[in-house]
Amino acid sequence: MMPFPATRLRRLRGSGTFRGLIRETDLSPAHLIMPAFVTAGEDIREEIPSMPGIERYSISKLVEHAAEVAAAGIGSMLLFGIPADKDEFGTGAYDDEGIVQMAVRALKEAHPDLAVITDVCLCEYTSHGHCGIPDPDGKIQNDLSVELIAKTAISHAEAGADAVAPSDMMDGRVGAIRYQLDEEGHSEVPIISYSVKYASAFYGPFRVAAESTPSFGDRRGYQMDPANGAEAVREAEQDLEEGADMLIVKPATPYLDIVRRVKDATGAPVAAYHVGGEYSSLKAAAEKGWLDERAAVLETLTGIRRAGADAIITYYAKEAAEWLQ
């Protein structure tokens, strides 16, 4: 027989104590961000068919949900708005009395220690479902869209948002938002930028939840090609130069290599967004009895952390936090 080496890596795997001592990656509720959908109306708490266990909330019900999230040990929520009406220019996005703006004020009054991050985009508010404003030929106009996106970010900051998260993927929007925030007296409000957002098939459940499926074309003209990696680093570095404080890679599990590349290249704080399709896939498999949901989810989230994510945006945040506790 070939002699074994003196070092046997299994020796420190024999007990939970030793496994804990040498564990390289930790996962705690502090690493998780809970996304939430707030909708116009009263006394609404309705389940989203494409995302079992996730609901749309009216403002009063959202405040109740936020108490549950905070009790689980989660310190922040990412807020998406679903307005009563939509139009071509997404005016509900930057209305001072819009659904997100009112929700932010209510959340901060009820839960001042909970960090409220707002998704800054037009897609939930436009009648056509795109993240920007199309020209007569259907092409999304970058600079006009950026102007309205920056206006949206300012309205969120004025309402009391702790951070703004532009998700549109228009060029130059981080710089425009940073300039406007500073000019309007919000220099302390950080920008958590969706710097690396791929044109992914995993967004389907979210589009049902947010009622934001494009009525024509698709978003490949401004979201990234899933085949590209080096471009992700360029996007991240450009956003940092424009004033981003934290970077988001979206989706998460199909792009763990990108999370690592962005983290290594920039050294900046990085969040990974474990999106609706990733969440719903695990839910569906668990409901079929094909996997142990708790074990699979915690393994998935640990893998995202191991890839380099400082934070994870996930619809499993509340459940995972409760399991971890």
Return the active site residues: 197, 250
Closest among 284, 257, 241, 118 to 198, alpha carbons compared: 257
* Structure-token pair, residue 111: 């839960």
**253/303 Cα distance (integer angstroms):** 8
68's CB contacts (< 8 A; 6+ apart) are 318
Residue 228 and residue 239: Cα distance in Å, rounded?
Answer: 17
Contact 84, 40 (CB under 8 A): yes
Rg of the chain taking only CA atoms, in angstroms: 20
Evaluate the CA torsion angle 156, 157, 160, 164 in order and state its sign. positive
| 97, amino acid identity | E
Secondary structure E strands in 189-295:
192-197, 246-250, 270-274
